[in-house]
Amino acid sequence: MSAGELAERAVGQPLLVEMLTLAQRRLTRTLTHTLAEENCTFDQWLVLRALGDGEGRSMGDLAQSLLIPHASLTRLVDALVDNGWIYRRQSGTDRRRITAHLSRRGHDRLTRLNALAEAHESAVRAACASEDPAAILAYLAGPDAA
């Protein structure tokens, strides 16, 4: 690719990584605000969702699946435990293995937060006037997207 072609691409079509990053930032900005009104952070909501299947997850599994550093995850889980939304359980076979589980109160909380997230997604889809993920991505990554 020539220098001219590279320069043209730099000001032309955005790269996929740009589009995904901008779309993610725009999507999470408004959802984060909505969750904050419910006294919950975006990452706390992600942890609650990850535990929503009722199976319980180890801290390592949560950190890996949510791409959250262990130290940050520990602080998140501590806050969720303090609020009574989740609890920790030690394995009966390996005392070093601790799993996090959604409490009954946490399940109720997750139901409410998921309803807010689903309403947020519906509003985004309506604003995009499309159900097509590619069209939604293009809308969200655009320069004048909300």
Residue-wise pLDDT for 90-101, tens only, equals 877 888 888 999
Q: At 6, is the pLDDT very low, low, confident or very high (cuts 50, 70, 90)?
A: low
CB 128 within 8 A of CB 23: no
Domain ranges across the chain: 15-141
Name the pTM for this structure: 0.80
Model pLDDT for residues 16-35, shown as the tens digit of each residue: 888 888 888 888 998 999 99
Model pLDDT for residues 47-59, shown as the tens digit of each residue: 999 999 988 999 9
Q: What's the angle, vertex CA 105, arms to CA 103 and CA 107, rounded to 5? A: 70
CB 138 within 8 A of CB 21: no
Q: Position of tokens 């006294």?
A: 39
Question: Could you tell me the fold of the domain covering 15-141?
Answer: Arc Repressor Mutant, subunit A (1.10.10)
Overall average pLDDT of the 118-140 stretch: 82
